[in-house]
Amino acid sequence: MLKNLENLKGILDSNRIKYYEYTSIKYTKLRLSSETYPNISR
């Protein structure tokens, strides 16, 4: 039982890391595009 919980926690942690990487990449792309095209209103 305890091992299943540890596996589940590991899966959740890896998903959280992937989510943070995805959002930071998306945010960086948004910031880069707004700096490249400043005349486009957000």
pLDDT > 80? residue 10 = yes
Is residue 20 one of the residues assigned to a domain? yes
Q: How far apart are CA 11 and CA 16, in angstroms?
A: 9
Is residue 42 one of the residues assigned to a domain? no
Structural domain of residue 23, as residue ranges?
A: 2-32
State pLDDT tens for residues 11-41: 899 999 899 999 999 989 888 887 776 665 5
DSSP characters for 1-42? -HHHHHHHHHHHHHHHHHHHHHHHHHHHHHHHHHHH-TTS--
Task: Yes or no: say if 42 and 34 are a contact pair by the CB < 8 Å rule.
Answer: yes
- 41 backbone φψ class: left, alpha, beta (φ>0; ψ -120 to 50): beta
Is residue 40 one of the residues assigned to a domain? no
Is residue 41 one of the residues assigned to a domain? no
Number of domains, the chain = 1
Residue that has been written with the tokens 């209103």 in this structure: 41
* pTM to 2 decimal places: 0.50
